Structure 1
Amino acid sequence: MPSTLLTDLPAYAELRALADSLKSASIQEFFSQQPNRVEQFTLEAAGLRLDFSKHLLSAAAHSKLIELAQQAGLAARATALLQGEALNNTEQRPALHSLLRAKQAPLSALRDKLEQVHSTQQRMRDWCERLNQGQHQGFSGAVITDVVNIGIGGSDLGPRLVSDALRFYHGDIACHYVANVDPADLQSTLLELSPESTLFIICSKSFRTEETLINAQVARQWVLNAGASEADLDKHFLAITSNLEAAADFGIPDQHCLPLWDWVGGRYSVWSAVGLSCAIAIGWDNFTAFLAGAERMDEHFQQAPVAQNMPMLLSLLEIWYCNFFAAENHSVLPYDQGLQRLPSFLQQLTMESNGKQVAQDGRSLPYHTAPILWGSAGSMGQHSFHQLLHQGTRLCPVDFILPLTTHTGMTEQHRFLVANGLAQSRTLLLGRSAEEAKAALLKRGLSDSEAEELAPHLAMPGNRPNTVISFEAVTPETLGALLALYEHRTFCSGQLWGINSFDQWGVELGKDIGMDILSRLEGEQKAAPLDPATEQLMLRWREAQRLD
């Protein structure tokens, strides 16, 4: 059955005309035209407040975007996702990450899967309590004090983000993360640890992920070199995997393996046993609160009508700028140091999910899909790339993530941070005209001619769209809701674009070619040469090895 494309929807042409008419519109004038614009363009759900009033979005365009979502059947698609329909059509499987945080199965057909989830959560809880109570010892009898999660992609980004963001909730076990196959990553982590008191969690569904296994083998040898026997390895290794045989060959018995099912994609897996490391770090009760926050967002996503649905609204804004204003970038700026890894997490979620060029039925798409997502923690970005946001030629919508309180107790410093975040949002909106710039220069004591010459360099166009997502504090509940919000946003955008958000075939070819090149670097002779540039670089690599 042919996919429904964005351009097939009746509202698309009308939105195109509306967007053209708004390209010279003033967001500030919208506030004058709509006295209640902030109230009308604000949504609240699961402890989050989303203010989208500072957007190039008239009341008419907003209404037409809602109509677009209704024509695409987004509400029905949300139900299909949460009830486990096989929406991953290229792999013929559902995407049931929402079941990982559910207390009850949405359908009787999913009860068996939910029982598996709850059984695994009980095992996770046992490990959390065992480690945090000092009941697990290494080969020498030393109590485990440090946990190292070895994974890559979704097996690293999610747990690392949650551990960082919820540092206020950490207990006595220190959790560390290694992802890069560059030996410096693992080496620098192990330098400060003792093999006698370190536990490794190997996260690989297939137990074949090359980067993860290379790091795992080095960690294994590190423990053995410290005096452990191969029979002692189970004291120092857990695995999150479906390949029990490969884990056993490594030295990890079945009872030290927790499952990851094929209906959970890697970038959606922090809610599963992949999240064991951060559950150990913050404690089981806080991890269940993290799940509960996400479940609240799931409920909102399924129940709220399109006009009040926070994930759907975020998706419609993404579509609005990507497909009607040709915006190729999107920036996420968390004004919280603990959330500094949120942009990296969202990069994978957004670009691995929706970086596609064909529809679900294989047809080439006539439009762009996922924007390039980037960002950093505020206020550091203000002294680097914010210059481009304010005065650059590219349109780049921004999401400001703003906790209203801090766990540090340093309220005065946090007040300064919040002021900076609000100021950046307002500056993107207001800008500064050449006349205003000239007046400011005259106040500095410049002559009229000097001010006239310099004013264009100080002028800023403003009218730059931005969203503010605020919440009382970074807690397990609000963090869970925030990540689930962006998960569902990503899904809705994929549905509007007519693509499959749950496969990632673009990753596979690079892996295959990488293995071919590795075999050549290891000395294997193959008849067919590679491209001249790659052959030259391999030759230079061989020469560099001879110099060492």
Structure 2
Amino acid sequence: MTPCTQLKDLPAFGELQALALALKSADIEGLFAGAPDRTDTYRADAAGLCLDYSKHLLDDAARAKLVELGEQAQLPQRAHALLSGAEINNTEHRPALHSLLRAASAPGLEDKFAEVVATRGRMRHWAERINRGQQTGFSGQTITDVVNIGIGGSDLGPRLVTEALKPFQGDINCHYVANVDPADLQDTLLDLDPASTLFIVCSKSFRTEETLANSLAAREWMLNAGATEADLDKHFLAITTNLAAAADFGISGDNCLPIWDWVGGRYSVWSAVGLSCAIAVGWDHFEQFLDGAAAMDAHFASAPVDQNLPMLMSLLEIWYCNGFAAGNHVVLPYDQGLAKLPDFLQQLTMESNGKRVSAEGAPLSYDTGPVLWGSAGTMGQHSFHQLLHQGTRLCPVDFILPLTTHTGMTGQHRRLVANCLAQSRALLVGRSLEDARASLLARGLSDAEAAHLAPHLAMPGNRPNSVISFTAVTPHTLGALIALYEHRTFCSGQLWGINPFDQWGVELGKEIGTEILGLMEQASGSPRMDPATDQLISKWRQANAPA
């Protein structure tokens, strides 16, 4: 496939910068007043999700020009290339076919799809076997707890899905360990019984440092509890391509499920990496999760740019990142089950689009990959929302809003929804200096005191935000939501002219980490890094020297 054109070379880009300059002082409330149907026209629906982007620094001319930019970048054609298996990852010479993992069929990709279907069958076998109580440990006890050991995409995706779908979970408890800090594994295992615990080791290479270290510690924990090496197959599964390394560890090929090189880690929750999720919620619900993502794939493949949720959200990201110099993006899920969504999206977006050269290796002269952050509402309202409302930085916001609750506590949920809508409106309207002064006078302050304090209460408003709403967090809507952000991330990469499917930036730290570990394992000798690192290695040696 031909490389992406850089953003600056798209004809509409210069015109958009001029439009952005004009709209920096626009009044979004005034835009509503001038277009009574704005909430209908600045909205798009797909796969059970509704995107309301009416509260943005955007008028009809700017929106039309953004759509034109998307068409000039050939976003519909590139969506087709992605979904059909073109070599979209040009630096590693492979497709990015995570969408195949949730497809019902795949014309032209029959061989790969046959492997996917076979692996789904094996995932279903394990999920149902464990949920039916048919998997027993070394003492004959039924497996009651599953510990997923992974890091990055092998942890963030499954952890998010399992927590978000808690109302759909069965009797198996699923736990997640990622940090090489021994406290992570130790704290997880404190209340678990080795005889009834099964580990899933997620590592494509079976060499990922953090995952291997935790897996070896889990193996030792199991053996110390009375299991023999012959028993390890009763307690360990692996998601890997390195069958030899898994066998050396003690995991047979029958207990290994594949992960392919055309599936990036941050896109892997749909694969066997999601086995812990399938165990937690049951196979039927996991299939619904895949179906929700497939519905978003179908929308992405067919909807025109001006109605395409991923494309519209991507164009808004470019609008603020490259038109308003907003170096960040905030995601606020108003659902406790989605508390890990910002963490998941941080890897998805920043590992994908945190690039400084084009897909062809040319330096870029504009920003890419804004910092993504956020937390579950309403906690952020009592910490960082102050900055959103009165800070000097522009922070575009996505509010994620399920309209119903699984708890049955509708009164309390009503308060949660009211808080979400209030925050979205407060960002929009702000509070004028005069309104602030009037509010202070109503509290009984004198004219002088009110005039003095009013600037501290005033808020500029005009802070852009979207609301993504849906009826409830279900396996289907969660699948659609994750796929929405996957495709948005891809489109932004295409608009910036970068490859969002490699992550060479994580390699250097790994290489240096291996060097430093080697130095730390030496009993003596002078370190040979930079002076500051050398000093810290020496201090570590002193702190850990035998008494």
- Taking structure 2 as the reference length, the TM-score comes to 0.99
Please tell me whether residue 66 in structure 1 is matched to residue 97 in structure 2: no
Alignment-mate amino acid for residue 473 of structure 1: A
Rounded Cα–Cα distance in structure 2 between residues aligned with 1:512 and 1:16: 41
Please tell me whether residue 385 in structure 1 is matched to residue 384 in structure 2: yes
Rounded Cα–Cα distance in structure 2 between residues aligned with 1:223 and 1:491: 42
The match for 2:79 is: 78
Rounded Cα–Cα distance in structure 2 between residues aligned with 1:210 and 1:188: 20
SS in 1 for 2:175: strand
Runs of 4+ in 1 over 6 A off after TM superposition: 524-528
SS in 1 for 2:425: helix
The match for 2:353 is: 354
The match for 1:479 is: 478
The match for 2:298 is: 299
**1:405-462 alpha-carbon deviations (Å, 9 max, x no partner):** 0000000000000000000000000000110000000000000000000000000000
Rounded Cα–Cα distance in structure 1 between residues aligned with 2:545 and 2:389: 50
The match for 1:167 is: 166
Alignment-mate amino acid for residue 277 of structure 1: S
Do the aligned residues in 1 keep the contact of 2:332 with 2:375 (CA within 8 Å)? yes
Alignment-mate amino acid for residue 143 of structure 1: T
Please tell me whether residue 249 in structure 1 is matched to residue 243 in structure 2: no
The match for 2:53 is: 52
* Superposed displacement of residue 546, structure 1: 2.4
SS in 2 for 1:141: coil
Alignment-mate amino acid for residue 414 of structure 1: H
Please tell me whether residue 89 in structure 1 is matched to residue 90 in structure 2: yes
1:229/1:537 CA distance change after superposition, 3 Å: same
Do the aligned residues in 1 keep the contact of 2:151 with 2:210 (CA within 8 Å)? yes
Structure 1 window deviating more from structure 2 (536-545 vs 139-148): it is 536-545
Alignment-mate amino acid for residue 75 of structure 1: P
Please tell me whether residue 136 in structure 1 is matched to residue 132 in structure 2: no
SS in 2 for 1:214: helix
**1:495-540 alpha-carbon deviations (Å, 9 max, x no partner):** 0000000000000000000000000000177788210000111111
SS in 2 for 1:43: strand
1:431-510 matches, within 5 Å, as: 431-510=430-509
SS in 1 for 2:401: strand
The match for 1:201 is: 200
* Superposed displacement of residue 543, structure 1: 1.2
SS in 2 for 1:53: strand
**1:3-31 alpha-carbon deviations (Å, 9 max, x no partner):** 41001011011101101111111111110
1:107-506 matches, within 5 Å, as: 107-108=107-108, 110-506=109-505
**1:75-98 alpha-carbon deviations (Å, 9 max, x no partner):** 000000000001100100000000
Do the aligned residues in 1 keep the contact of 2:296 with 2:480 (CA within 8 Å)? yes
Alignment-mate amino acid for residue 136 of structure 2: Q
* Superposed displacement of residue 35, structure 1: 1.1
Rounded Cα–Cα distance in structure 2 between residues aligned with 1:525 and 1:77: 55
**1:89-115 alpha-carbon deviations (Å, 9 max, x no partner):** 01000000000000010x32x101111
Rounded Cα–Cα distance in structure 2 between residues aligned with 1:433 and 1:545: 59
Do the aligned residues in 1 keep the contact of 2:4 with 2:495 (CA within 8 Å)? no
SS in 2 for 1:52: strand
**1:212-254 alpha-carbon deviations (Å, 9 max, x no partner):** 0000000000000001110000000000000000000000000
Alignment-mate amino acid for residue 153 of structure 1: G
SS in 1 for 2:138: coil
Rounded Cα–Cα distance in structure 2 between residues aligned with 1:360 and 1:504: 12
Rounded Cα–Cα distance in structure 2 between residues aligned with 1:524 and 1:539: 11
* Superposed displacement of residue 59, structure 1: 0.6
Rounded Cα–Cα distance in structure 2 between residues aligned with 1:350 and 1:273: 22
**1:377-420 alpha-carbon deviations (Å, 9 max, x no partner):** 00000000000000000000000000000000000000000000
**1:248-275 alpha-carbon deviations (Å, 9 max, x no partner):** 0000000000000000000000000000
1:439/1:531 CA distance change after superposition, 3 Å: same
The match for 2:540 is: 541
Rounded Cα–Cα distance in structure 2 between residues aligned with 1:421 and 1:389: 14
SS in 1 for 2:459: coil
Alignment-mate amino acid for residue 191 of structure 2: E
The match for 1:33 is: 34
Rounded Cα–Cα distance in structure 2 between residues aligned with 1:368 and 1:146: 45
* Superposed displacement of residue 33, structure 1: 1.2
Rounded Cα–Cα distance in structure 2 between residues aligned with 1:266 and 1:245: 21
**1:343-367 alpha-carbon deviations (Å, 9 max, x no partner):** 0000000000000000011100010
